[in-house]
Chain A
Amino acid sequence: MSAVPLAARELAIARGSRTLAQGVELELRRGEVVALLGPNGAGKSTLLATLAGLLEPAAGRVERGGRVAAALQAPALARRSVRANVEAALAWWGVPRDQRRERALTALRALRVEQLAERPAAALSGGEARRVHLARGLALQPDALLLDEPFAGLDAPTRAELLHDASTLLRAPERATLLVVHDRAEAWALADRVAVLLDGELVSGPTAELLEQPPTAALAGFLGFSGELREADGASVRLRPGHVVADPAGPLAGRVTHRIPEEDGLLCELELEDERGLLQLRLPHPGPAAGELVRVRIDGGVRIAAGAR
């Protein structure tokens, strides 16, 4: 049994004649959960379909050290009962007939949808369909499980509930799991490692490291480091709103150019004096008026040297 059930080597992916990414290197090891992030249209679903063997690589190769199953983005359930849907997937996977029912029900129970087993799949709510879809993938017990946005299209409470359940279920010592996620909160909650597909390249690293210390300006921008402080040597410090603290004795000052009221406070955009850059910070309601001068200090952020992309 290989410790790496799925790996991409020098992989290029394409949809139609358009190459979406190349030079993709990725190893999925047993027991780990990897989150795949990227802007819309970057090719996350294409990468997943290529890793699953549904699309041919445009170049490079996909190495499989075990069986790979993919749960695609649409829950795509056939017009049959929930249990029949899970059992059909087990049949395709090659599970003997006499074991299918038990395995299907076990997986449905794990996702707390066992009571829906005999319902027609067409009658499920969005959240229920997502749970059944996930149960179907888990029931197969593949060596590598690929999940494309398993929480897409759910309202906030339903999503939070499923995220809560998934955080324990997705972790299994014998299985490698790759999931395309929609936002950083899902990556934080679920993944040991994060891979970001941006501008045709895949960058990966341990979750906390990559999300807190993105190596390039483009990655920092995508990962929510929206503020930029230009330094004298040409380097820049990229900052999330949480890295900027209002402080009357702070070394920097800027004028408020935008005010966006939010649940947790007022998100202010500051234009720093001396053209040092633009920052965002969150202040308690009601906060300063537009045009007001605010003094701040920096606490955190990531420094990107001059010349680094």
Chain B
Amino acid sequence: MTGPSQISRRLFLKGSAVLGCSAAAHPLLNTVTFASAPGENRLVVIILRGAMDGLDVVQPYGDPSLRELRRSLSVGPAGGALDLDGFYALHPALAPLMPMWRAGELGFAHAVSTPYRDKRSHFDGQDMLEAGTGMDVAPSMVRDGWLNRLLQTMPDVRSQTAYSVGAEAMPVLAGSAPFLAWAPDTRLELGGQAEALFEALYHDDPRFSGPAAEALEISRAAGDAGAKADATAIARFAAQRLKEETRIASFSLNGWDTHRGQAGSIRRSLDQLATVLMTLKAESGPVWGRTTVLAMTEFGRMAAENGSGGTDHGTGGALIMAGGAVRGGRVYGQWPGLASGDLYAGRDLRPTADVRAYAGWAMRGLFGLQSSRIENEVFPGLDLGRDPGLFV
């Protein structure tokens, strides 16, 4: 079962008007039962669903093979991309993020992937990305996500510590550790008598009592976050929670499956991503300096352009990192080259690092988690490898 049901069932019973408890006894309002907060650092994980084309977002224009593989896409600075370091250039749609790059608050890791290989299915790829497992375990066998396993290692997690934001379920946060799930445009307000009746109605069925209790609680705690659940509202809601007790937030951005007309379609998704990162920065205020954002996707796309101005499913891709806590202004990773002999399976960017290692090093830096726990509990079987130095 997922976290919210367990924590909230407890809330429902304790906070229930039926049982006559006062609000002061409520665990959300009265946190003395918890010893200490899990530190001041914040981690935001954005799942980019649909397989973002890393080669187009962070264009390795210094590699001469890029031009041979792609005629219309990923043209580099000559096509308006913004030079980053003489080898890589940023897709022009991310131009609004250049100030963040120059301030050292935006960085990338290139030629990364999960351990997922060869079948190139979005859905298996996302399952594996969120389960955080390797090819030796079928993702369908794993019931929790790696963010939840991170929470399980923390000694003093409260219900507000982790938030899944938006109407979509986030398997990366699912598991036995408590977290809250909410969409910013939803509110639930019931009158006293109706609330008591609903509590009694759901009392014996935890599938209902948990979510209902949580809905009532968050409606009270969150106030009016705005009317629309677009990406901006989601980012704003996440930032507001991060300013309070929340230390981990996760949501997804869709629309990266650019099989055709990629020049236009990826621009819309990148616009949205830029807006989300700028909103997180603007709305989180002073805690931006303690925040690390990781935007990850299930796999990259084929090195060559396809017959319809798009790209088909591939393997290696890029990780986007942002936040005041992260050491940005650089593209991490070892570049494998795009010459035909360098490609994975003769067609894809060859991964030279496991994207989970970057997430692992981020956890180590942000929450002081031991390497052995990262390699055994959060990402079982992962070799963290050398410290890439994500933090100053």
Say whether A and B bind each other.
no
Q: Please report A residues at the B interface, Cβ cutoff 8 Å.
A: none
